[in-house]
Amino acid sequence: MALKLDRPLIVFDLETTGLDIATAHIIQIAYIKVLPTGEEKSVSQLINPGMPIPEVVQELTHITDDMVKDQPTFKEVANGLYEEFNGCDFAGFNSNNYDVPLLMEEFARVGITFDMSGVRLIDAFTIFTKMEPRNLAAAYKHYCGRKMEEDFQAHLADQDTAATWAVLKGELEMYSADNQKEEDRILPQDLNALHKFCNPCQKVDFAGKFVIPEEGAEPVITFGKHKGKTVHEVLLKEPGYYTWMMQGDFTLNTKQMLTALKLKYKL
């Protein structure tokens, strides 16, 4: 069943130097731009991260320092990516927790503010873990009927992107009203509903350090000793918390959102 699109959808994957959003850098970005007409455009680009790629990452991705040394930096491709991505929705595999926050962090590092208000984020991993908890390889076998290693080389962004798009389409087909009798097993086929399905809590910042647990609620903290408390309450009772976070190893976006909340509360 075809996904109903009212604007382009970017299905993408990143390979990076590490797992910490605050310090990691992109070494490969690949995406499939799916237009409302059904036309698809595939792009894969190696990126020079401006730092040595850790050995464990080179072994996992087979992307070496020599392969990226003559490739453009993210700063050099950022404007082009912004033009390509602006006005689009995004999809990926575990992208809401990692790829989207890191991509936005890379844009912030080069001074580009990417307005994500109204952007719908579709995470095939969230759909998968809610429906059939496993991983991408198992998802591919389950939804596409073949072993992933038969069709793709794992841990390469272009290969994982293609597999993710195949999985997402397979999920939409398997959990369509035509193929499911139980209502709670039917997956919505429009991006607004899929966005809500993949994002039960509204993130204030891309890293999810602050979330709005339900519509109309105050933003709450999701980590540390103040987990579950509202940002307003903590900033009011512990002014030093703001300074601690601004000096800490948090993403630029997290710090920007905390500053915006502080100004909103006039603290």
The region, left, alpha or beta by phi > 0 then psi within -120 to 50, assigned to residue 6 is: alpha
Separation between Cα atoms, residue 82 and residue 57, nearest integer Å:
26
Measured CA distances, 65 to 57, 70, 150, 185 (Å) = 11, 9, 28, 45
Q: Average of pLDDT values for 9-23?
A: 96
Residue 134: the pLDDT is 72
Domain positions in the chain are 9-200, 210-264
Residue 1: the pLDDT is 58
pLDDT digits (tens, 9 = 90+) for 106-152: 999 999 999 999 999 999 999 988 888 678 888 899 899 999 888 88
pLDDT digits (tens, 9 = 90+) for 216-250: 999 999 999 999 999 999 999 999 999 999 999 99
Out of 3.30.420.10, 1.20.1270.30, 3.30.360.10, 3.40.50.11890, the CATH code matching 9-200 is 3.30.420.10
Residue 170: the pLDDT is 95
Which pTM was predicted?
0.77
* C-beta of residue 240 within 8 angstroms of C-beta of residue 10: no
Scanning the chain, the segments in alpha helix (DSSP H) are 55-61, 65-68, 74-85, 100-109, 124-131, 136-144, 148-151, 157-174, 191-198, 231-237, 240-247, 252-264
